[in-house]
C-alpha cells in the first residue's frame, strides 16, 4: 500500500510536469517535424515493430513464439527478451536523442511503449534495473541512457527501480565491430550483482538497444549468480546486425 501510494504520487508529479512542458512548448515530431507530439501517429505507425511470433531470445520470426534453432544451441541467462522496434528510422532518432542529448521527453515516450509490452506479458516483476554503464563511462557521459528509460517505466508500472544492485565492474571495448563470439567474450565477467538486493527477485533488465544480446546476457548472468530467480530483458530497439538485415529480416513486419 505504502509503495503504491509513493509511486502514485511520484508518477502523478512526473506526468503533471511533462504535460505542463508539452503545453508550454508543444513538441515537434522527431521523425517528421510535425507539431503536436514527440513521435506523431504516422511515424509511430512507420516503425518496424517486433513480431509476437518470434524467438524469445533474439526476435527472429517463427511460426509461433518459441526458441529458434540458433538460440537453442546457446545458453541464455535471461528467460525472455522483448523489444519495441528495429533500430532504424524514427526509433533510431529517438534513441540517439536519448543517448547523446539526454532527451527526457523522448525517454518518457519510449517508456510508455515499453510499459505496453510488459502489460501484455505474464512477467511477475519485483525490480526494474537499467543495464549499467561503467563508472568511468557514466562519469564521462553524465548519465546512463538505460536509466532514462528504466525510471519512467518503473513509474508507469508502479514497480520499484534499482540502480545500485548491478554494476559494470570493468570497461568493455566498443562492441560495434565485433562478431557474436567476440561480443560474448568482451562482456564476460563485466558485471557484478549485489545478492542483498537481487537474491530471490525477478528482475526486469532495461536497455536502449540490443544487437546480439551478449551484454544483456552477461548482466543477467551476474544477477543469476547472485541468486536472482528470473531475469527478463526489455529494450527499446533491436539493431539490424550482420545476421539480420532489412532484406532477410524475418523478425520484422517490413
Ligand atoms: Zn512524425
Ligand atoms: Zn533466437
Residue 107's domain is classified under what CATH number? 3.40.50.2020
Distance 110 CA to ligand 1 centre (A): 15
Distance 149 CA to ligand 1 centre (A): 21
Whether 143 is covered by a domain: the verdict is yes
**Per-residue pLDDT, 214:** 87
Condensed to tens digits (0 to 9), the pLDDT of residues 84-100 reads 999 999 999 999 999 99
User: 247 pLDDT exceeds 70?
Assistant: no
Confirm if 38 and 109 have CB atoms less than 8 A apart. Answer: yes
Whether 4 is covered by a domain: the verdict is no
Identify the CA nearest to 146 among candidates 124, 185, 114: 114
Whether 1 is covered by a domain: the verdict is no
Condensed to tens digits (0 to 9), the pLDDT of residues 1-11 reads 444 456 677 77
Whether 87 is covered by a domain: the verdict is yes
Q: Cβ atoms within 10 A of the Cβ of 114, count?
A: 25
**Per-residue pLDDT, 187:** 77
**54: containing domain:** 48-238
Number of domains in the chain: 1
- Provide the strand spans (E) within 76-222: 80-86, 127-130, 166-168, 191-193, 202-210
The pTM of the full predicted model, rounded to 2 decimals, is: 0.86
Q: Which residue has the higher pLDDT, 210 or 12?
A: 210
User: 50 pLDDT exceeds 60?
Assistant: yes
Residues with CB under 5 Å of ion ligand 2 are 55, 57-58, 60, 68, 71
Condensed to tens digits (0 to 9), the pLDDT of residues 58-76 reads 998 999 999 999 899 888 9
Whether 203 is covered by a domain: the verdict is yes
Whether 212 is covered by a domain: the verdict is yes
Beta bridge partners of 204: 128, 232
The mean pLDDT of 218-233, rounded to a whole number, is 96
Condensed to tens digits (0 to 9), the pLDDT of residues 125-171 reads 999 999 999 888 899 999 999 999 999 999 999 999 999 999 998 77
Whether 40 is covered by a domain: the verdict is no
Whether 139 is covered by a domain: the verdict is yes
Distance 35 CA to ligand 1 centre (A): 8
**Band of pLDDT at residue 25, cut at 50, 70 and 90:** confident
β-strand pairing of 202-210 with 191-193: unpaired
User: 186 pLDDT exceeds 80?
Assistant: no
Amino acid at each position: 500500500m505504502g509503495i503504491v501510494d509513493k509511486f502514485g504520487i511520484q508518477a502523478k508529479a512526473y506526468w503533471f510536469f511533462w504535460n505542463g512542458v508539452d503545453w508550454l512548448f508543444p513538441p515537434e515530431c522527431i521523425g517528421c517535424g510535425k507539431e503536436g507530439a514527440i513521435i506523431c501517429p504516422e511515424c509511430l505507425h512507420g516503425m518496424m515493430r517486433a513480431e509476437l511470433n518470434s524467438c524469445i531470445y533474439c526476435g527472429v520470426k517463427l511460426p509461433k513464439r518459441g526458441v529458434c534453432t540458433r538460440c537453442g544451441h546457446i545458453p541464455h541467462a535471461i528467460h525472455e527478451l522483448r523489444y519495441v522496434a528495429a533500430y532504424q528510422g524514427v526509433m533510431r532518432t529517438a534513441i540517439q536523442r536519448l543517448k547523446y542529448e539526454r532527451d527526457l521527453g523522448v525517454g518518457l515516450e519510449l517508456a510508455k511503449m515499453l510499459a505496453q509490452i510488459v502489460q501484455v506479458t505474464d512477467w511477475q516483476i519485483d525490480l526494474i534495473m537499467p543495464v549499467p554503464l561503467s563508472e568511468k563511462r557514466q562519469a564521462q557521459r553524465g548519465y546512463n541512457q538505460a536509466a532514462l528509460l528504466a525510471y519512467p517505466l518503473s513509474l508507469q508500472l508502479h514497480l520499484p527501480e534499482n540502480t545500485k544492485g548491478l554494476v559494470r565492474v570493468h570497461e568493455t571495448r566498443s562492441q560495434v565491430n565485433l562478431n557474436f563470439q567476440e561480443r560474448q567474450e568482451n562482456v564476460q565477467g563485466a558485471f557484478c550483482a549485489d545478492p542483498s538486493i537481487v537474491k530471490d527477485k525477478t528482475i526486469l533488465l532495461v536497455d536502449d538497444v540490443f544487437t546480439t544480446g551478449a551484454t544483456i546476457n552477461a548482466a543477467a548472468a551476474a544477477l543469476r549468480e547472485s541468486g536472482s530467480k528470473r531475469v527478463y530483458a526489455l529494450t527499446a530497439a533491436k539493431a539490424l546486425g550482420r545476421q539480420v538485415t532489412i532484406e532477410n529480416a524475418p523478425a520484422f513486419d517490413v
